[in-house]
Structure formats: structure tokens, C-alpha cells
Structure 1
Amino acid sequence: MPNDQIHQLLSARRRRYVLYYLYRYENPVRLPDIAAQIVKWEPQEGDLVDERSQTHLALYHNHIPKLADEGIVEYDQEEEMVELGENATHLRPYLEHTAETDLDMTDTRGL
């Protein structure tokens, strides 16, 4: 996978968050569970329920389809289940580096 394509995919913080979650937990996982965790990782500005709903919609309509189109994730839209795809390994070294900053993680072994 070309570096420009990797950087474009990882330029969105929420896409990185999706991948952090998938690397840390047994796959497949429910999209609403990913959205709930992302809300916990992001700074809160409003109502928690509203934030979760908005995050879920952004993942459903934007971020998950982009990752799925590139084979980074497999997505069952009907069941709202997401798992790592065959191309996810191309992004892992970048995620190990960015997780330290994004999540204030010093231990990235879970990735």
C-alpha cells in the first residue's frame, strides 16, 4: 500500500481510533461499541448520548466505509459488525507510533 494512501487513511483521528479499538479487542466487534469507546477517548463538549449518536453516524457513513473500501476492515453493515481486514497489517507500524500521542499510551503492545 503506498505511503500517501496510508497517510490519507490515518489522517482522520476517528479512523485511527477505530483501528486502535480493533487491535485491542477480540474481533469482530459491534460498531456501537466502537463509537462508545471513541466518545470516551475524545474530549467531551456536549451531551454524552448526543456525542455517541453523532460519532456512530460519522463512523457508519464516513470512516468505516473508507476503511472497508481499502480492505483495512471488513464490515457487515446489516449486523453493524466490524473486524480487521487483510490490509490492516500495512497500517499497524504507523498506529503503534500515533497511539502514544493520540491515546497518551506508553505501552502499545495491545496494538
Structure 2
Amino acid sequence: MDKVLDMFAKRQRRLILFTLQDGATKHESDFVFRGTDSTDDPHLQLIHTHLPKLAEAGYIEWHRETGEVSKGPRYDEIEPLLDLIDNHADELPSNWP
């Protein structure tokens, strides 16, 4: 559970995971969101921190050469939590996901 909650600790990672719910393959440029957790360059944070961390956990598959991102082999482990958050969005703070 600690590992899962660590993945949800940063808003940008939550948004990446939510964006992949539809099952479509995305490009890493789709995940450069405004209002990220850091004042650092969002793209650098994405490719040096968030995508590698999610890929290492198995929640996403990230192909650095092409920039393609898709659900990883362990995505189904966190999908119930994503559904729970989505189903109770009206009860969560306004900065969620």
C-alpha cells in the first residue's frame, strides 16, 4: 500500500494514471500538465522523475525512444483506487486528481 500511495503522492503522477484509464497509448507530451507540483521544468520532471518511477513500479510502459506511454503490467493493481477516487471526486479537495 505504501508503494501505491507513493505513486499518488504527486499530482502529475495521478494525472498520468487517470489519463491512461481509457486504455489508449499516449505520447509523453500529453502529460506535460500546467499547475504541476514543482517550479522546475514540467517536461524535465516528467522524463526524469514521474515516468521512470511509474514505469519502474510496472504501472506504465514507457518507450523512451518513441515517447509512447501505455498501461503497464501492474496497472490493474491500482485501477480500483483510481475508480474509487473518480467515483468520489465530489468529496475530494478541488486540487484532485
* TM-score with structure 1 setting the length: 0.69
Counterpart amino acid of 1:62?
T
Corresponding residue SS for 1:91 = helix
* CA displacement at 1:98 relative to structure 2: 3.0
State whether structure 2 residue 64 is matched by structure 1 residue 67.
Answer: no
Instruction: Decide which of 95, 102, 108 is 2:82's aligned counterpart.
Output: 95
Partner of 1:30: 27
**Higher percent of residues as helix:** 1
**1:7 aligned partner:** 5
1:21-74 Cα shifts (integer Å, max 9, x gaps): 1114622x1101221xx22xx38xxxxxxx8x9222111100100010011100
Structure 1 unaligned residues grouped into runs of 5+: 44-50, 104-111
Q: How does 1:38-77 map to 2 (within 5 A)?
A: 38-39=33-34, 42=35, 54-77=41-64
CA shift in 2, pair 1:24/1:56, >3 Å: farther
TM (norm. structure 2) is 0.78
25 and 56 in structure 1: CA distance in 2 versus 1, 3 angstrom threshold: farther
Which one-letter code corresponds to 1:97 in the other structure?
Answer: L
Runs of at least 4 residues off by over 3 Å: none
Q: How many pairs are equivalent?
A: 88
Q: 2:13–2:50: 8 Å Cα contact kept in structure 1?
A: yes
Q: d(CA) in 2 for partners of 1:25 and 1:14?
A: 18
- 1:81 is matched with 68
One-letter code of the match for 2:83? E
